[in-house]
Amino acid sequence: MRLPLVELHLHLEGTLEPELIFELAERNGVALPWGSLDELREQYAFSDLQTFLNLYYANLDVVRTRADFALLTTRYLERAAAGGVRHAEVFFDPQAHTSRGVELGEALGGVHDALQDGERTLGISSKLIVAFLRDRPAAEALDVLKQVLAGPVPVDGIGLDSAEVGYPPELFAEVFALGKANGLRLVAHAGEEGPPAYVWTALDLLGVERVDHGIRSLEDDALVQRLVDERMPLTVCPLSNVRLRVVETIADHPLPQMLELGLLVTVNSDDPAYFGGYIDDNMAALQEAFGLSAAQRALLARNGVEASFLDPAGKAQLF
Protein backbone atom coordinates (compact mmCIF):
# COMPACT_ATOMS: atom_id res chain seq x y z
CA MET A 1 0.00 0.00 0.00
CA ARG A 2 1.21 3.50 -0.83
CA LEU A 3 1.83 5.46 2.38
CA PRO A 4 -0.31 8.59 2.75
CA LEU A 5 1.61 11.83 2.27
CA VAL A 6 0.41 14.67 4.48
CA GLU A 7 1.81 18.18 4.02
CA LEU A 8 1.79 20.26 7.21
CA HIS A 9 4.32 22.98 6.44
CA LEU A 10 3.82 24.64 3.10
CA HIS A 11 3.63 28.34 2.28
CA LEU A 12 1.31 28.79 -0.69
CA GLU A 13 3.37 31.82 -1.70
CA GLY A 14 6.40 29.53 -1.72
CA THR A 15 4.85 27.45 -4.50
CA LEU A 16 5.06 30.34 -6.97
CA GLU A 17 7.18 28.71 -9.68
CA PRO A 18 9.35 30.85 -11.98
CA GLU A 19 7.15 29.93 -14.98
CA LEU A 20 4.05 31.15 -13.15
CA ILE A 21 5.83 34.40 -12.24
CA PHE A 22 6.33 35.08 -15.95
CA GLU A 23 2.78 33.97 -16.80
CA LEU A 24 1.20 36.27 -14.19
CA ALA A 25 3.52 39.18 -15.08
CA GLU A 26 2.31 38.89 -18.66
CA ARG A 27 -1.37 38.72 -17.78
CA ASN A 28 -1.15 41.61 -15.28
CA GLY A 29 1.16 43.78 -17.37
CA VAL A 30 3.89 43.78 -14.72
CA ALA A 31 7.43 44.60 -15.87
CA LEU A 32 9.79 42.07 -14.27
CA PRO A 33 13.38 42.94 -13.35
CA TRP A 34 14.45 39.62 -14.98
CA GLY A 35 14.88 39.24 -18.73
CA SER A 36 14.45 35.47 -18.73
CA LEU A 37 13.58 32.44 -16.62
CA ASP A 38 17.27 31.64 -16.34
CA GLU A 39 18.06 35.12 -15.07
CA LEU A 40 15.35 34.73 -12.43
CA ARG A 41 16.60 31.26 -11.47
CA GLU A 42 20.08 32.69 -10.90
CA GLN A 43 18.62 34.56 -7.91
CA TYR A 44 17.80 31.30 -6.11
CA ALA A 45 21.15 30.86 -4.34
CA PHE A 46 20.36 31.90 -0.78
CA SER A 47 22.77 32.51 2.07
CA ASP A 48 20.17 32.55 4.85
CA LEU A 49 16.46 33.02 5.60
CA GLN A 50 16.51 36.76 4.92
CA THR A 51 18.06 36.53 1.46
CA PHE A 52 15.34 34.03 0.55
CA LEU A 53 12.56 36.16 2.05
CA ASN A 54 13.69 39.20 0.04
CA LEU A 55 13.06 37.32 -3.21
CA TYR A 56 9.92 35.55 -1.92
CA TYR A 57 8.22 38.88 -1.12
CA ALA A 58 9.48 40.66 -4.28
CA ASN A 59 8.18 37.91 -6.58
CA LEU A 60 4.67 38.27 -5.14
CA ASP A 61 4.29 41.56 -6.99
CA VAL A 62 2.82 39.59 -9.93
CA VAL A 63 0.03 37.97 -7.84
CA ARG A 64 -2.75 40.53 -7.79
CA THR A 65 -6.29 39.33 -8.45
CA ARG A 66 -8.60 36.79 -6.87
CA ALA A 67 -8.07 34.64 -9.98
CA ASP A 68 -4.28 34.85 -9.52
CA PHE A 69 -4.53 33.58 -5.94
CA ALA A 70 -6.81 30.77 -7.07
CA LEU A 71 -4.43 29.82 -9.89
CA LEU A 72 -1.41 29.78 -7.54
CA THR A 73 -3.30 27.48 -5.18
CA THR A 74 -4.61 25.20 -7.93
CA ARG A 75 -1.16 24.79 -9.48
CA TYR A 76 0.15 23.76 -6.05
CA LEU A 77 -2.66 21.26 -5.50
CA GLU A 78 -2.14 19.71 -8.94
CA ARG A 79 1.57 19.24 -8.26
CA ALA A 80 0.86 17.92 -4.76
CA ALA A 81 -1.68 15.40 -6.07
CA ALA A 82 0.82 14.20 -8.68
CA GLY A 83 3.31 13.64 -5.85
CA GLY A 84 0.83 11.60 -3.81
CA VAL A 85 -0.33 14.20 -1.25
CA ARG A 86 -3.71 13.31 0.28
CA HIS A 87 -4.08 16.11 2.82
CA ALA A 88 -2.45 19.54 3.03
CA GLU A 89 -2.52 22.17 5.79
CA VAL A 90 -1.26 25.26 4.02
CA PHE A 91 0.04 28.61 5.20
CA PHE A 92 -1.02 31.86 3.64
CA ASP A 93 0.55 35.24 4.55
CA PRO A 94 -2.22 37.91 4.31
CA GLN A 95 0.15 40.76 5.18
CA ALA A 96 2.43 39.92 2.24
CA HIS A 97 -0.51 41.03 0.08
CA THR A 98 -2.45 43.62 2.09
CA SER A 99 0.79 45.56 2.62
CA ARG A 100 1.00 46.07 -1.16
CA GLY A 101 -2.60 47.08 -1.64
CA VAL A 102 -4.34 43.75 -2.30
CA GLU A 103 -7.76 43.36 -0.66
CA LEU A 104 -7.73 40.71 2.06
CA GLY A 105 -11.01 39.23 0.82
CA GLU A 106 -9.73 38.88 -2.78
CA ALA A 107 -6.59 37.10 -1.67
CA LEU A 108 -8.16 34.78 0.91
CA GLY A 109 -11.23 34.23 -1.23
CA GLY A 110 -9.18 33.05 -4.22
CA VAL A 111 -7.20 30.65 -2.05
CA HIS A 112 -10.33 29.30 -0.37
CA ASP A 113 -12.18 28.73 -3.68
CA ALA A 114 -9.24 26.78 -5.08
CA LEU A 115 -8.84 24.67 -1.93
CA GLN A 116 -12.53 23.74 -2.12
CA ASP A 117 -12.21 22.86 -5.82
CA GLY A 118 -9.08 20.82 -5.11
CA GLU A 119 -10.92 18.73 -2.57
CA ARG A 120 -13.61 17.91 -5.13
CA THR A 121 -11.51 17.43 -8.24
CA LEU A 122 -8.18 16.16 -6.91
CA GLY A 123 -9.27 14.45 -3.70
CA ILE A 124 -6.89 16.50 -1.52
CA SER A 125 -8.46 17.59 1.75
CA SER A 126 -7.01 20.76 3.22
CA LYS A 127 -6.87 23.21 6.07
CA LEU A 128 -6.00 26.89 5.78
CA ILE A 129 -3.66 28.53 8.27
CA VAL A 130 -3.15 32.29 8.09
CA ALA A 131 0.37 33.15 9.17
CA PHE A 132 1.44 36.49 10.58
CA LEU A 133 4.72 38.13 9.63
CA ARG A 134 6.73 38.42 12.82
CA ASP A 135 8.93 41.21 11.41
CA ARG A 136 5.89 43.46 11.13
CA PRO A 137 4.13 44.99 14.17
CA ALA A 138 2.03 42.71 16.37
CA ALA A 139 -0.71 45.38 16.30
CA GLU A 140 -0.99 44.89 12.54
CA ALA A 141 -1.26 41.12 12.98
CA LEU A 142 -4.02 41.63 15.53
CA ASP A 143 -5.88 43.90 13.15
CA VAL A 144 -5.57 41.41 10.27
CA LEU A 145 -6.77 38.57 12.51
CA LYS A 146 -9.83 40.59 13.51
CA GLN A 147 -10.58 41.21 9.82
CA VAL A 148 -10.19 37.51 9.04
CA LEU A 149 -12.50 36.57 11.91
CA ALA A 150 -15.11 39.08 10.76
CA GLY A 151 -14.84 38.05 7.09
CA PRO A 152 -16.59 35.41 5.02
CA VAL A 153 -13.66 33.01 4.53
CA PRO A 154 -13.35 30.35 7.23
CA VAL A 155 -9.81 29.58 8.36
CA ASP A 156 -8.62 26.71 10.51
CA GLY A 157 -5.58 28.09 12.26
CA ILE A 158 -2.99 30.79 12.70
CA GLY A 159 0.77 30.67 12.41
CA LEU A 160 3.83 32.88 12.70
CA ASP A 161 6.53 33.16 10.05
CA SER A 162 9.04 35.44 8.26
CA ALA A 163 12.37 36.67 9.71
CA GLU A 164 12.78 34.91 13.05
CA VAL A 165 15.83 36.21 14.94
CA GLY A 166 14.98 39.35 16.94
CA TYR A 167 11.23 38.65 16.76
CA PRO A 168 10.45 36.22 19.60
CA PRO A 169 7.05 34.50 19.75
CA GLU A 170 5.96 36.31 22.91
CA LEU A 171 5.50 39.54 20.90
CA PHE A 172 2.40 37.84 19.46
CA ALA A 173 0.83 36.49 22.67
CA GLU A 174 -2.28 38.65 22.30
CA VAL A 175 -2.79 37.58 18.68
CA PHE A 176 -2.58 33.90 19.60
CA ALA A 177 -4.88 34.37 22.61
CA LEU A 178 -7.51 35.86 20.29
CA GLY A 179 -7.05 33.01 17.81
CA LYS A 180 -7.46 30.43 20.56
CA ALA A 181 -10.54 32.19 21.95
CA ASN A 182 -12.06 31.85 18.48
CA GLY A 183 -11.34 28.14 18.22
CA LEU A 184 -8.41 28.38 15.80
CA ARG A 185 -5.55 25.89 15.84
CA LEU A 186 -2.17 27.37 16.77
CA VAL A 187 1.26 26.84 15.20
CA ALA A 188 4.43 28.93 14.92
CA HIS A 189 7.79 28.81 13.21
CA ALA A 190 10.39 28.52 15.96
CA GLY A 191 13.91 27.16 16.15
CA GLU A 192 14.59 27.45 12.40
CA GLU A 193 17.26 30.17 12.65
CA GLY A 194 16.15 31.29 16.11
CA PRO A 195 17.36 29.78 19.41
CA PRO A 196 15.69 27.05 21.50
CA ALA A 197 14.37 29.83 23.78
CA TYR A 198 11.92 30.73 21.00
CA VAL A 199 10.57 27.17 21.00
CA TRP A 200 10.01 27.37 24.77
CA THR A 201 8.09 30.62 24.47
CA ALA A 202 6.09 29.42 21.46
CA LEU A 203 4.94 26.54 23.68
CA ASP A 204 4.48 28.42 26.94
CA LEU A 205 3.30 31.86 25.84
CA LEU A 206 1.55 31.15 22.54
CA GLY A 207 0.26 27.67 23.34
CA VAL A 208 1.19 26.24 19.94
CA GLU A 209 0.07 22.72 19.03
CA ARG A 210 2.87 22.17 16.48
CA VAL A 211 6.28 23.73 16.08
CA ASP A 212 7.28 24.60 12.52
CA HIS A 213 10.91 23.58 11.91
CA GLY A 214 12.07 23.42 15.53
CA ILE A 215 15.33 21.76 14.56
CA ARG A 216 17.44 24.00 16.81
CA SER A 217 15.58 22.36 19.72
CA LEU A 218 18.32 19.74 19.51
CA GLU A 219 20.67 22.22 21.21
CA ASP A 220 18.63 21.99 24.44
CA ASP A 221 18.26 18.55 26.06
CA ALA A 222 15.51 19.67 28.45
CA LEU A 223 13.52 21.02 25.52
CA VAL A 224 13.92 17.79 23.56
CA GLN A 225 12.67 15.86 26.59
CA ARG A 226 9.63 18.10 26.85
CA LEU A 227 8.82 17.81 23.13
CA VAL A 228 9.08 14.02 23.37
CA ASP A 229 6.99 13.85 26.58
CA GLU A 230 4.24 16.04 25.10
CA ARG A 231 4.32 14.37 21.67
CA MET A 232 4.68 17.84 20.22
CA PRO A 233 4.92 17.64 16.43
CA LEU A 234 7.82 19.31 14.63
CA THR A 235 7.17 20.09 10.95
CA VAL A 236 10.66 19.61 9.54
CA CYS A 237 11.62 20.72 6.01
CA PRO A 238 14.90 19.08 4.96
CA LEU A 239 15.48 20.67 1.53
CA SER A 240 14.61 24.09 2.97
CA ASN A 241 17.15 23.60 5.75
CA VAL A 242 19.86 22.87 3.18
CA ARG A 243 18.98 25.76 0.87
CA LEU A 244 18.77 28.26 3.75
CA ARG A 245 22.07 26.96 5.18
CA VAL A 246 20.58 25.73 8.46
CA VAL A 247 22.39 22.47 7.69
CA GLU A 248 25.24 22.03 5.23
CA THR A 249 24.03 19.09 3.15
CA ILE A 250 21.12 16.69 3.26
CA ALA A 251 23.49 14.02 4.62
CA ASP A 252 24.13 16.31 7.62
CA HIS A 253 20.43 16.69 8.37
CA PRO A 254 19.52 15.62 11.92
CA LEU A 255 16.22 13.98 10.92
CA PRO A 256 17.38 10.40 11.65
CA GLN A 257 18.70 11.56 15.04
CA MET A 258 15.40 13.32 15.75
CA LEU A 259 13.47 10.10 15.03
CA GLU A 260 15.89 8.18 17.23
CA LEU A 261 15.26 10.60 20.10
CA GLY A 262 11.54 9.87 19.84
CA LEU A 263 10.53 13.30 18.54
CA LEU A 264 7.28 13.45 16.58
CA VAL A 265 8.92 14.53 13.33
CA THR A 266 7.06 15.11 10.07
CA VAL A 267 8.58 15.78 6.63
CA ASN A 268 7.37 18.81 4.68
CA SER A 269 8.37 21.12 1.86
CA ASP A 270 8.15 24.74 3.16
CA ASP A 271 8.64 26.72 -0.10
CA PRO A 272 9.05 24.09 -2.79
CA ALA A 273 9.36 26.48 -5.75
CA TYR A 274 12.43 27.97 -4.08
CA PHE A 275 14.10 25.04 -2.38
CA GLY A 276 14.30 22.40 -5.07
CA GLY A 277 11.34 20.22 -4.39
CA TYR A 278 7.91 19.25 -3.10
CA ILE A 279 7.17 16.82 -0.27
CA ASP A 280 7.81 13.75 -2.43
CA ASP A 281 11.17 15.26 -3.43
CA ASN A 282 11.99 15.82 0.25
CA MET A 283 11.20 12.17 0.97
CA ALA A 284 13.29 11.05 -2.00
CA ALA A 285 16.25 13.17 -0.87
CA LEU A 286 16.06 11.67 2.63
CA GLN A 287 15.75 8.19 1.15
CA GLU A 288 18.86 8.72 -0.97
CA ALA A 289 20.90 10.25 1.85
CA PHE A 290 19.94 7.86 4.63
CA GLY A 291 18.38 4.79 3.02
CA LEU A 292 15.37 5.08 5.32
CA SER A 293 13.97 1.71 6.38
CA ALA A 294 10.38 0.70 5.62
CA ALA A 295 9.68 1.16 9.35
CA GLN A 296 11.07 4.71 9.30
CA ARG A 297 9.03 5.61 6.21
CA ALA A 298 5.89 4.21 7.82
CA LEU A 299 6.62 6.11 11.04
CA LEU A 300 7.00 9.40 9.14
CA ALA A 301 3.69 8.78 7.37
CA ARG A 302 1.94 7.95 10.67
CA ASN A 303 3.45 11.03 12.29
CA GLY A 304 2.10 13.23 9.49
CA VAL A 305 -1.40 11.90 10.00
CA GLU A 306 -1.18 12.13 13.81
CA ALA A 307 0.14 15.71 13.71
CA SER A 308 -2.56 16.91 11.32
CA PHE A 309 -5.58 18.87 12.48
CA LEU A 310 -7.97 16.32 10.98
CA ASP A 311 -10.55 14.83 13.31
CA PRO A 312 -10.24 11.12 14.18
CA ALA A 313 -12.53 10.08 11.32
CA GLY A 314 -10.46 12.13 8.84
CA LYS A 315 -7.24 10.59 10.14
CA ALA A 316 -8.69 7.09 9.91
CA GLN A 317 -9.61 7.71 6.25
CA LEU A 318 -5.98 8.33 5.33
CA PHE A 319 -4.92 4.82 6.24
Alpha helix stretches (DSSP H) within the chain: 18-28, 37-41, 49-59, 66-82, 95-98, 104-122, 138-150, 173-181, 196-201, 221-229, 238-243, 255-260, 272-275, 279-290, 294-307, 312-318
Nearer to ligand ADE, 3 or 88 (CB): 88
Residue 245: strand, helix, or coil:
coil
Contact call for residues 106 and 65 (beta carbons, < 8 A): yes
Determine the Cα angle at 233 with ends 166 and 212, to 5°: 30
Nearer to Zn ion, 58 or 298 (CB): 58
Q: Does 7 interact with Zn ion (rule: CB under 5 A)? A: no
Q: Does 7 interact with ligand ADE (rule: CB under 6 A)? A: no
213 is in an annotated binding site: no
Residue 112 near which of Zn ion, ligand ADE, none (CB within 5-8 Å, type-dependent): none
Determine the Cα angle at 32 with ends 31 and 35, to 5°: 115
Q: Does 189 interact with ligand ADE (rule: CB under 6 A)? A: yes
Among the listed residues 192, 209, 219, 248, the single catalytic one is 192
Cα dihedral 23, 108, 95, 56, rounded to 10, equals -30
Contact call for residues 255 and 242 (beta carbons, < 8 A): no
**Would residue 192 show up in a list of annotated catalytic residues for this protein?**
yes
11 is in an annotated binding site: yes
Q: Does 253 interact with ligand ADE (rule: CB under 6 A)? A: no
270 is in an annotated binding site: yes
Contact call for residues 85 and 6 (beta carbons, < 8 A): yes
Q: Does 14 interact with ligand ADE (rule: CB under 6 A)? A: yes
Q: Could you tell me the smallest distance in angstroms from the CB atom of residue 9 to ligand ADE?
A: 8
By CB under 5 A, what part of segment 277-296 binds Zn ion? none
* AA identity, residue 83: G
| Listed ranges 97-105, 134-142, 145-153, 267-275: which one lies at the site for Zn ion (CB under 5 A) | 267-275
Nearer to Zn ion, 271 or 280 (CB): 271
CA dist., res. 131 & res. 210, Å (int): 13
Task: Compose the 156-175 pattern: x for residues touching ligand ADE by CB under 6 A, - for all others.
Answer: -----xx-------------
Nearer to Zn ion, 66 or 141 (CB): 141
Residue 192 near which of ligand ADE, Zn ion, none (CB within 5-8 Å, type-dependent): ligand ADE
Contact call for residues 90 and 79 (beta carbons, < 8 A): no
Q: What is the DSSP letter of 3?
A: P
- Pick the binder of Zn ion from 191, 270, 282, 302 (CB under 5 A): 270
Binding residues for substrate: 271
Q: Active-site positions?
A: 192
Which residues are at the interface with ligand ADE (CB under 6 A)? Answer: 11, 14, 49, 56, 161-162, 189, 192, 240, 270-271
**Residues within the interface to Zn ion (CB under 5 A):** 270
